[in-house]
């Protein structure tokens, strides 16, 4: 921040919605653009910033607004232009900065010794009452453009180059989000095509490579994309210099992990790199495909983020962007369960950081989203999808006839959150609905013979999958005794279809940790994530099937290179190791912001560090005992 405390300000949420729109419109696939298919929330185009001062003497200030803004300033009712020094005082001064902007966020930067755009400004949109203006640590200088998020840049040289089929194939040490640069291009020559791949096979398959482009003739660069390999057909590697300019948002990793188990340490290291790449302006699902902001991916990212970066701002940007504005008419990403997970995300964020200001800002949107969900109940009180809604839960073979049990479990959990945070009159209603819903779930979905919850009661098939049973355990919707029953009859029963996606495997592994199956979880981490490492992975993938040979690992969704090889939810070992094996529970209500209860018998000598609020907790274990745990 500069010395006079000034920073760019905007209507809270508008900057997030603007950049979320840019992000969700950024997907490019084989030469064409693919904007996200859900409703795109807009930002306000006309706002007014307000502040009253009691000045002891004369002072001056200047108002800067973004390009192509229509704006003026009122000083005690008198109109003044922006961009020029304005002198006022002493005495009472009432200021209003009116801004309209069509192509971007109508932000303001106010600079002066006394009058400046700090935390004291309010903003209104001519509809709702004024609210505190939004700002963040990334936009503090007057010459910045709020339409462009500031990125850091690091140059990477290729670690190898080889001639393949008359062209040059470049390999980088790891996967990056980078602008590839090729210089010199030569005079009067058409810039070459570049094929970028997460895998060698993808970069060399010019017919099916996911991303290709022609280099810009002026800069010799292609736009920022995911890459580890770059193939330039018809290019002599001796004639050019190639490098990757990795461009990233400043979200520093604040965790470290050294256990003496080389495989486990490497899993943590690669998971950290994977997740860092997916920490952009928002949590992204992956850096190649889709590059969209998904509610389910974001929910899981919260758990990893708190133990890796501890950056609350990226969580708030993501949650704000996902929710959008009121009135709410569609579900987050069109997915009913993602709306439920968004409500649960708000509770997770609050419990970790204790940020009541942000919770109170978002509580009306939590309530309106809850009311949309409650408006979609059938005569039995069960949540159902509307036309164009997507009831997802997971890519699994559910019995989807009628209401889905897993969806009802999520609704119960979300209602529990609302009963915690809503005003008491509304909270009492949410508790009543939740209690009745739990009774109806027990009546309709519990199968006494199978000792499990079934997917659907309307079809008569009595089909059991793991999903609803896992959610019942995770969100404490059943007694500890019932949880142990579900562990035996579902989680440890090979006859119940296995979870096939890393997305829901996260929930299953956490449920197993809650129930004390830590050895099984550790073996699963080493088998699954360690298996990817054995195949040469430098980031962790969207999905991994140990039965497939390497050349078949890249296909997904019917696309030979459709699988993301750098996916945020694949970083979950960071959370599982920190939370359940090291036993670090982050809790803003605890005296120091955490509770440490290490699991016994897993680590003999351990040195690790994890963010706790604005500090870092350094843990040193020797001979299986914690020797030091110090907040710095």
302-339 confidence digits (pLDDT tens): 999 999 999 999 999 999 999 999 999 999 999 999 99
| Rounded CA separation 541/564 (Å) | 6
What are the Cα distances from residue 162, in Å, to 243, 324, 354, 541?
15, 48, 53, 26
What is the tens place of the pLDDT at every residue in 195-238? 999 999 999 999 999 999 999 999 999 999 999 999 999 999 99
| Rounded CA separation 339/234 (Å) | 49
Answer yes or no: are the C-beta atoms of 249 and 279 closer than 8 Å: yes
Domain membership flag for residue 623:
no
Q: Which two tokens stand for residue 79?
A: 């109109």
Residue whose entry in the numeric block shows the structure tokens 């350094």: 618
Residue 96, number of CB atoms within 10 A of its CB? 18
What is the tens place of the pLDDT at every residue in 27-85? 999 999 999 999 988 899 999 999 999 999 999 999 999 999 999 999 999 999 999 99
Answer yes or no: are the C-beta atoms of 105 and 66 closer than 8 Å: yes
What is the tens place of the pLDDT at every residue in 597-629? 999 999 999 999 999 999 999 999 999 999 999
**Same domain for 100 and 40:** yes
Residue 443 has pLDDT above 60, yes or no: yes
Domain membership flag for residue 602:
no
Q: Which two tokens stand for residue 443?
A: 């009546």
**Same domain for 48 and 86:** yes
Answer yes or no: are the C-beta atoms of 450 and 466 closer than 8 Å: no
**Same domain for 159 and 125:** no
What is the tens place of the pLDDT at every residue in 256-290? 999 999 999 999 999 999 999 999 999 999 999 99
Residue 14 has pLDDT above 50, yes or no: yes
pLDDT attached to residue 4: 59
pLDDT attached to residue 188: 64
**Same domain for 216 and 162:** yes
* Start-end of H helices in 535-632: 573-576
Nearest to 264 by CA among 500, 509, 505, 528: 528
Residue 158, number of CB atoms within 10 A of its CB? 19
Q: How confident is the model at residue 190 (pLDDT cuts 50, 70, 90)?
A: confident
**Same domain for 112 and 24:** yes
Residue 185 has pLDDT above 90, yes or no: no
Is residue 264 classed as helix, strand or coil in its secondary structure?
helix
| Rounded CA separation 585/608 (Å) | 15
Residue 2 has pLDDT above 50, yes or no: no
**Same domain for 127 and 20:** yes
Mean predicted lDDT score pLDDT of the chain:
96
Domain membership flag for residue 568:
no
Domain membership flag for residue 356:
no
b/e 57-82 (16+ beta carbons within 10 angstroms → b)? eebebbbbbbeebebebebeeeebeb
Is residue 512 classed as helix, strand or coil in its secondary structure?
helix
What is the tens place of the pLDDT at every residue in 135-159? 999 999 999 999 999 999 999 999 9
**Same domain for 104 and 158:** no
Q: How confident is the model at residue 398 (pLDDT cuts 50, 70, 90)?
A: very high
Q: How confident is the model at residue 189 (pLDDT cuts 50, 70, 90)?
A: confident
Residue 3 has pLDDT above 70, yes or no: no
Is residue 155 classed as helix, strand or coil in its secondary structure?
strand
CATH number at 175 reads 2.60.120.260
pLDDT attached to residue 19: 98
| Rounded CA separation 621/632 (Å) | 17
Domain membership flag for residue 255:
no
* Mean pLDDT, range 459-480, rounded to an integer: 98
- φ and ψ of 119, to 5 deg: -75, -5
Domain membership flag for residue 254:
no
| Rounded CA separation 512/490 (Å) | 11
Residue 503 has pLDDT above 80, yes or no: yes
| Rounded CA separation 571/539 (Å) | 9
Residue 537 has pLDDT above 80, yes or no: yes
Domain's final residue, options 230, 248, 266 = 248
Answer yes or no: are the C-beta atoms of 346 and 359 closer than 8 Å: yes
Predicted TM-score of the model (pTM): 0.96
Residue 392 has pLDDT above 70, yes or no: yes
| Rounded CA separation 540/582 (Å) | 22
What is the tens place of the pLDDT at every residue in 119-133? 999 999 999 999 999
If one counts the domains in the chain, the total is 2
b/e 575-584 (16+ beta carbons within 10 angstroms → b)? bbbbbbbbbb
Domain membership flag for residue 363:
no
pLDDT attached to residue 1: 36
DSSP conformation letters of 152-217: EEEEE--SEEEEETTEEEEEEEEEEEEEEEEE---TT-PPPEEEEESSHHHHH-TTT-SEEEEPPT
- Longest Cα–Cα distance of the chain, Å, equals 82
**Same domain for 159 and 92:** no
Domain membership flag for residue 385:
no
**Same domain for 49 and 103:** yes
**Same domain for 37 and 96:** yes
**With pLDDT > 90 as the criterion, what percentage of the chain qualifies?**
96
Indicate the angle between helix axes 262-278 and 295-308, nearest 10 degrees. 120
Can you give the residue range of the structural domain that contains 170? 152-248
Answer yes or no: are the C-beta atoms of 571 and 271 closer than 8 Å: yes
Answer yes or no: are the C-beta atoms of 606 and 584 closer than 8 Å: no
**Same domain for 124 and 40:** yes
Domain's final residue, options 248, 282, 316 = 248
Domain's final residue, options 248, 263, 286 = 248
Run of H or E including 369: helix 356-374
Residue 22 has pLDDT above 80, yes or no: yes
**Same domain for 116 and 20:** yes
Burial of 448 per CB tally in 10 Å (0-12, 13-18, 19+): exposed
Beta partners for 585? 595
């Amino acid at each position: 921040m500069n010395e006079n405390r000034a920073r760019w300000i905007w209507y809270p949420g508008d900057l997030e919605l603007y950049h979320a729109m840019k992000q969700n419109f950024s997907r490019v696939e084989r030469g064409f653009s693919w904007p996200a298919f859900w409703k795109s929330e807009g930002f306000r185009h006309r706002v007014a910033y307000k502040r009253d001062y009691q000045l002891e003497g004369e002072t001056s200030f200047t108002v800067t607004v973004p390009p192509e803004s229509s704006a003026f300033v009122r000083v005690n009712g008198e109109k003044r232009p922006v961009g020029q020094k304005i002198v006022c005082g002493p005495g009472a001064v009432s200021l209003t900065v009116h801004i309209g902007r069509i192509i971007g966020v109508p932000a303001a930067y106010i600079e002066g010794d006394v009058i400046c755009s700090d935390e004291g400004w309010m903003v209104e949109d001519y509809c709702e009452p004024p609210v505190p203006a939004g700002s963040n640590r990334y936009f503090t200088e007057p010459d910045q453009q709020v339409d462009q998020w500031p990125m850091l840049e690091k140059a990477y040289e290729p670690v190898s180059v080889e001639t393949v089929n008359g062209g040059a194939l470049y390999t980088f040490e790891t996967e990056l989000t980078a602008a590839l640069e090729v210089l010199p291009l030569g005079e009067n020559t058409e810039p070459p095509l570049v094929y970028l791949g997460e895998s060698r096979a993808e970069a060399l398959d010019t017919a099916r490579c996911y991303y290709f482009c022609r280099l810009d003739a002026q800069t010799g660069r292609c736009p920022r994309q995911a890459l580890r390999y770059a193939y330039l057909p018809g290019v002599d590697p001796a004639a050019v210099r190639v490098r990757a300019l990795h461009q990233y948002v400043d979200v520093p990793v604040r965790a470290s992990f050294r256990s003496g188990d080389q495989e486990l340490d490497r899993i943590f290291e690669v998971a950290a790199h994977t997740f860092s790449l997916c920490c952009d302006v928002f949590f992204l699902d992956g850096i190649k495909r889709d590059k969209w902001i998904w509610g389910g991916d974001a929910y899981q990212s919260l758990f990893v983020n708190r133990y890796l970066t501890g950056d609350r701002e990226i969580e708030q940007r993501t949650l704000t962007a996902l929710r959008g504005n009121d009135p709410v008419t569609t579900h987050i990403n069109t997915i009913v369960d993602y709306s439920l997970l968004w409500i649960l995300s708000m509770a997770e964020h609050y419990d970790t950081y204790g940020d009541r200001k942000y919770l109170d800002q978002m509580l009306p949107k939590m309530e309106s989203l809850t009311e949309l969900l409650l408006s979609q109940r059938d005569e039995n009180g069960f949540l159902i999808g509307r036309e164009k809604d997507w009831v997802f839960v997971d890519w699994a073979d559910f019995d989807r006839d009628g209401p889905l049990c897993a969806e009802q479990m999520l609704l119960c959990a979300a209602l529990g959150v609302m009963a915690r945070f809503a005003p008491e009159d509304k909270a009492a209603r949410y508790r009543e609905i939740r209690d009745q819903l739990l009774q109806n779930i027990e009546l309709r979905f519990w199968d006494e013979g199978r000792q499990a919850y079934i997917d659907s009661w309307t079809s008569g098939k009595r089909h059991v999958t793991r999903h609803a049973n896992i959610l019942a355990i995770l969100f404490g919707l059943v007694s500890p005794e019932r949880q142990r029953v579900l562990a035996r009859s579902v989680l440890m029963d090979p006859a119940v279809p296995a979870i096939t996606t890393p997305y829901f495997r996260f929930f299953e592994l956490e449920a197993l940790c809650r129930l004390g199956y830590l050895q099984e979880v550790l073996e699963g981490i080493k088998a699954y994530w360690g298996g990817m490492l054995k195949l040469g992975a430098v980031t962790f993938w969207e999905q991994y099937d140990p039965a497939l040979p390497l050349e078949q690992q890249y296909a997904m969704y019917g696309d030979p290179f459709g699988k993301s090889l750098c996916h945020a939810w694949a970083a979950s070992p960071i959370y599982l190791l920190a939370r359940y094996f090291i036993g670090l529970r982050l809790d803003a209500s605890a005296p120091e912001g955490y509770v440490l209860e290490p699991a016994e018998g897993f680590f003999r000598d351990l040195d690790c560090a994890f963010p706790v609020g604005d500090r870092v907790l350094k843990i040193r274990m020797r001979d299986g005992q914690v020797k030091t745990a110090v907040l710095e």
